[in-house]
Amino acid sequence: MTEPQAPHPAQSISYPAESRPSSRYAQEQLDPHVIVLFGATGDLARRKLLPGMAHLVLSDLAPDIRIVGTSLEDMSDEEFRAFARSAVEQFGHKQLSPEQWDLFDDNLTYVAQSAGPAALAAAVERAEQALGGDVRRLHYLSVPPKAALPVIDMLREADLVARARVVMEKPFGTDLASAIALNARVHETFKESQVFRIDHFLGKEAAQNILAFRFANGLFEPIWNRNFIDHIQIDIPETLGLDQRANFYESTGAYKDMVVTHLFQVMAFVAMEPPTALEPRAISEEKNKVFRSLLPIRPSTVVRGQFTGYTSLPGVAPDSDTETFIAMECRLDNWRWAGVPFYLRTGKEMAEGKRIISIAFKEAPRSMFPANSGVGQSGPDHLTFDLADESKVSLSFYGKRPGPGMRLQKLSMQFSTGETESAGDVLEAYERLILDAMRGDHTLFTTAEGIESLWDRSAQLLDNPPPVKPYAPGTWGPNAIHQLVAPHAWRLPFEREWRAKK
C-alpha cells in the first residue's frame, strides 16, 4: 500500500457534502487506477458502466481514476466524451452539474481497438503519467464472449498484465469443456487472483442483505434448514424482449444466459453454510460447497419455453429450439437442505419484471383451529426478499382478524432500505462491483471452480433438453410450470402488493 497521493486536479471538486455517498471503504487508501473499458461504446457501457464510473470518480468512494475507452468504432477523445455525457445524462441516477461534468470529462480518453496493442499501451501510459505514483490497472471486458480471448491476447501483447485486474462479463463458457478451456486460456495470461467474473445480481444491496439477515440474527439462522423450510423460489421474470440481442441470445438461451450466471449465484447466498469470516476466500469456499452439492439437473424437472414471435426476430433460425423461458426444480445433496426443492424461473417477454427470493416455511399443525377459521387457506408463511434497488424484505404470517370469533387472515411485516436514513448510501450494483474489483475483493464474484462445478451439474440438461413450449408474450410462461411445482404454487404473481412508501 502506498502513501496517500495528493488529489489529482480532476478530483479537486466532488459532490456537495450533503449528497456525497458515504462508504464502508472510507478508511481504505487505494492506489490510483487506470480503467481500460473494452466495449466502451456498447449498450452496457452506456447504460451502466459510464454512469457508474462517473458516480465513483466524483465521490469519495474511489481512488483517483483515469478511464481509457476502447471499442470497434473510430472516435476522437471529444466524440467519446460526448457519448459518455449523453450516457450519464440519460441513465445516471445522479445528475451532474456543469462543473462536475467538466471534472469527469477530464478523466476520459479513447483509442480505437483497430489501432492495435501499441496504441492502447501508449494511451494507458499517458493516463498513468497523469495520475503519478503507483498506479494499478483495471481492465473491464464489456464485450461478447467470443471477443473475450482476443482482448486478453491484446492485453498480453500490450504488456498491460502487470499491476492489473480483469473483469469479465458472462457467460463464462457454454458447457463444462468450454468453461475449462476458457479458464485455462485466461490463466495463461492472468492469475486467478487477478480475474473477476462479474454477476451484477450479487452487487445489489438486497442480495448482500441475505447474508446479514441470515447470519446476524439469532431469530432466523436456527430455522434456516430442512426442518422448518418447505421450499424456496428464486423468480426473476423480465418484461424485456431481445430487440437487437436475438442473434447473441440464439447461442445461449435463458439457462446459459441467466440461470448459471445469476440464479445459481443467488441460490448459493441463500443456501450456503456460515463462512468462518466475512472475507472473500471463506465466502467463496462456502458458495463452491453449494455448487458441489447441487444434484445433476434432470431434464424431467425442467420446463423450457419460447415466446411466440421469437423465430421472426433477425438472426433467429425459423426452427430455433432456443428457450427464452426456463423453470426448474433443483435439489442440494447436503445435510441442511436434503429434501427441500429449490424452484427457479426466469424468462423474457413475461407479465411482470420482478426479482424475488421467497422462502416458504412449513405449515404449523392446525388441529386447534376450527375448519372455517381461514388458517391454511392462504398458503404457508413466506419470507420474501425483493432484489430491486430498494432492497425490500417481507415476512407473511397468520394473525387474528379483528372482531368476534376466531377468523384468521394473512398479515405481513415489511422493510425497505428506501425508508431508512441511509437510503442515499445505496450503490448501484456495477458501482459496488467495480469498486470491489479495484480493492481486490472477490466476495461478490465467481471463481473458476464454481463456474466449472455448475456446468458439470448441467450436463444432462444440455445434452438432452426437453422441447420448448410456446407461451404468449405478457404471460407467466407455459402452463406446464404449474405441474412442475405442484402441490406448491408459484409465489408470483403476488396477491398482496408491497406497501407504498409514505
Annotated binding-site residues for NADP(+) read 39-46, 170
**Which one is catalytic: 139, 262, 382, 442?**
262
| Phi, psi dihedrals of residue 107, rounded to the nearest 5° | -90, 0
Pairwise CA distance, residues 242 & 309, whole Å:
11
Q: Where do the DSSP E strands lie in 161-263?
A: 164-168, 195-198, 229-237
| Phi, psi dihedrals of residue 442, rounded to the nearest 5° | -90, 5
Pairwise CA distance, residues 30 & 186, whole Å:
26
In sign, the C-alpha dihedral spanning 409, 413, 419, 423 is negative
Sheet holding 469-471, edge to edge: 408-416, 392-400, 382-386, 356-361, 229-237, 342-347, 325-330, 302-307, 469-471
132 touches 32 (CB < 8 A): yes
Question: Any idea which residue has 456498447 for its cell?
Answer: 42
Pairwise CA distance, residues 229 & 382, whole Å:
10
> Does the annotation mark 262 as catalytic?
yes
Pairwise CA distance, residues 160 & 5, whole Å:
22
33 touches 64 (CB < 8 A): yes
75 touches 83 (CB < 8 A): yes
Return the HEC string of 294-331: ECCCCHHHEEEEEECCHHHCCCCCCCCCCCCEEEEEEC
Beta-bridge mates of residue 358: 233, 384
Of 119, 147, 123, 134, the C-alpha closest to 35 is: 123
CA atoms within 13 A on the CB side of 261: 20
321 touches 466 (CB < 8 A): no
361 touches 379 (CB < 8 A): no
Annotated binding-site residues for substrate read 200, 204, 238, 257, 348
| Phi, psi dihedrals of residue 230, rounded to the nearest 5° | -85, -50
Q: Where do the DSSP E strands lie in 365-433?
A: 382-386, 392-400, 408-416
Sheet holding 164-168, edge to edge: 108-110, 65-70, 33-38, 136-141, 164-168, 195-198, 445-446
Q: Write down the number of H helices and E strands in the chain.
A: 16, 16
Pairwise CA distance, residues 104 & 64, whole Å:
11
CA atoms within 13 A on the CB side of 31: 18
Q: Which residues are catalytic?
A: 262
